[in-house]
A = this chain, B = another copy of it.
Amino acid sequence: MSVETDVVLYDSETAATLDYAPDGILQHLTTGPYTFETGATLPQLVIGYETWGTLNAEASNAVFIAHALTGDSHVARGASTEPGWWDVLVGPGKTVDTDRYFVVAANMIGGCSGSTGPASLDPTGVAWGSRFPFTTIKDSVRVEARLADELGIKTWHAVFGGSLGGARALEWAIEFPERVRHCVVVAATAEASAEQIAFAQVQTAAIRLDPDFAGGDYYSNDRVPSAGLGIARRLAHITYRTASELDVRFGRAAQGEERPISSHGRERGRYQVESYLDHQADKLAGRFDANSYLVLTEALMSHDVGRGHASLEAALERSLGVQFLVAAVDSDRLYWPEQSEQLAKMLPGDYKVEYISTPIGHDGFLTDIEQLSEPLREIFS
């Protein structure tokens, strides 16, 4: 194994005495072949990751933060110029205090933000595209375990994530319970529900319908399936928010001077909420690969910590030594609070669900995470 970074060469043998790469700067671990949960193999994996703070001598202060579906490893700004998506939570003096904790975030395998994914090249120099293996959240965690090994982290003080990131955190506690002391699962469940699968199917179908998708092998073409990805994102975004939030923000207003009710055949202008969704779609299409969206969405559909174990209950029982914090967003209509309540009930231990209270829905796990600072202080004191 070797580690590549633009900044500081990391050497696992002498980690304790070396400087780490600066906080919040993307680094790459190149590791060997990997056999996926389904049996497919890739000859080489690269894991893109970032760190903040310093691992202590006992390697007892490491925290793993798992990003959500279209998130990435840039949790906090650190030494970079780009803001992080959880700057409010992670940094010097913050709830997850990087003066005290060594925070690690890895880009999920199958994604497009630094870890091997469909846009990565095979050994002959051709993008994997449609040949990229079906990937699960268990794969994500097993790959992340390699990164932990390389960083000299036997046990995480905490694994922590929301949405798909919460599913990843939970899988850490099921797959490697001996390597996790605390597990924080926000707005996530033990398994994808029928409705979550249903919304995901619509999204994946829209991407595949785009003529520019070309069966997934579009990387050498002039066009990429932005339109299909945009439709997927529009739907996903609606499910991340709530009816009342959209109504308060947009109502039925027209966008600028546009006329949603046309006098010219069927060419019509847009409502504000359509323009807003168009913007969400364009933003994602500008930064995310459609194949990665497919791979990670199908990973989310496959989410079931019980798979490979005697039962869901048996799987959760494995995490007996882990201390959990289960949290939900009260207005979430994608990862319903009832599902978090079920998870808390099924975990070995006596847990009550902590709530983020916001009218905006699922995205509250991003926007209002500081509402959990009190229960989080018990973990990160």
By a beta-carbon cutoff of 8 Å, the part of chain A in contact with chain B is 37-40, 130-134, 136, 191-195, 197-199, 201-202, 205-206, 209-211, 216, 227-228, 230-231, 234-235, 238, 242-243, 246-247, 249-252, 260-266, 268, 271-274, 277, 294-295, 298, 301-302, 304, 307, 333, 336
* B216 contacts A266, C-beta separation under 8 Å: yes
Report which residue of A211, A243, A307, A336 has the largest number of chain B beta carbons within 10 angstroms of its beta carbon: A243
Contact of A194 among B198, B216, B246 (CB under 8 A): B246
Question: Nearest chain B CB to A190's CB is how many angstroms away?
Answer: 11
Contact of A243 among B134, B211, B252, B336 (CB under 8 A): B336
Closest to A129 in B: B266
* A246 contacts B131, C-beta separation under 8 Å: no
What CA separation (Å) do A268 and B264 show in the bound complex? Answer: 44
Closest to A193 in B: B247
For A206, what are the chain B residues with a Cβ–Cβ distance below 8 Å? 206, 209, 231
Contact of A252 among B194, B201, B216 (CB under 8 A): B194
Report which residue of A261, A266, A273, A302 has the largest number of chain B beta carbons within 10 angstroms of its beta carbon: A266
Closest to A276 in B: B198
For A202, what are the chain B residues with a Cβ–Cβ distance below 8 Å? 231, 234-235, 238, 277
* A197 contacts B294, C-beta separation under 8 Å: no
Number of copies: 2
Report which residue of A194, A210, A252, A271 has the largest number of chain B beta carbons within 10 angstroms of its beta carbon: A194
* B134 contacts A201, C-beta separation under 8 Å: no
Question: Nearest chain B CB to A7's CB is how many angstroms away?
Answer: 35
What CA separation (Å) do A228 and B207 show in the bound complex? Answer: 11
For A302, what are the chain B residues with a Cβ–Cβ distance below 8 Å? 260-261
For A216, what are the chain B residues with a Cβ–Cβ distance below 8 Å? 266
Q: Please list 22 pairs of residues, one from A and one from B, whose beta carbons are closer than 8 Å in the complex, sorted by A's number.
A: A39-B263, A40-B263, A40-B264, A40-B265, A130-B265, A130-B266, A132-B265, A134-B261, A134-B266, A194-B247, A197-B273, A199-B235, A199-B238, A201-B234, A201-B277, A202-B234, A206-B206, A209-B231, A211-B211, A243-B336, A260-B301, A261-B307
